[in-house]
Amino acid sequence: MKFFYAPATCALASRIALEEAGAPYEAVKLSFRDGDQRKPEYLAVNPKGRVPALVTERGVLTETPAILLYVAQTFPGANLAPLDDPFALAQAQAFNSYLCSTVHVAHAHRMRGKRWVDDEAAIAAMQKKVPQSVGECFALIERDMLAGPWVIGERYSICDPYLFTLSQWLEGDGVDRTRFPKLAEHTRRIKERPAVQRALAGEV
């Protein structure tokens, strides 16, 4: 498999899952600063012009929740999802969908406002709202969605690298991490995992 990523993006979650699974893959680094994601070579792989993208023998997969589930199902021995329990798996997918559709979008309002509006005042207003909107997302996660010690309880899953990845942006979004003790413990535990350390080392 070939895995396209850019440092400091949500692609880290999928890379952690690949490392956890022991999956054979080639990592291809894109530079957002150089606009690699908009070059014809990459658009031929992923017309969305975003990361991550995972090239498999059956075709290209995009979107973090899809890639995470694909890795979990392709490498069941890694035990990255409750594949034997449809309801629990749906709950895990619901969590990852929330990260993708709500938390990541709230964060993107700080850096990608032009996706939604052109007016500079509107963009500034969106940016001003980010500490509140992202903070509210993580308050909900802390209170109601992070079972502890891992997202779905005692079992590490594809939810954990995704939460870890997005939580790395809290400071930049103006959110005080000390508000979330369960998240802090989650971050501490996940950083101890060898697969996470390998994935982080590959970010440079």
* pLDDT value of residue 14: 98
Domains and CATH numbers, the chain: 2-79 (3.40.30.10), 86-198 (1.20.1050.10)
Give tens-digit pLDDT for 27-37: 999 999 999 99
Stretches in the chain below the pLDDT threshold 70: none
* pLDDT value of residue 200: 98
Residue 134 to residue 144: CA distance in whole angstroms: 15
**Global pTM?**
0.96
* pLDDT value of residue 113: 86
Give tens-digit pLDDT for 130-176: 999 999 999 999 999 999 999 999 999 999 999 999 999 999 999 99
**Residue 8 Rama label (left phi>0; alpha psi -120 to 50; beta):** left
Packed helices 181-191 and 194-201: angle between N→C axes, nearest 10 degrees: 80
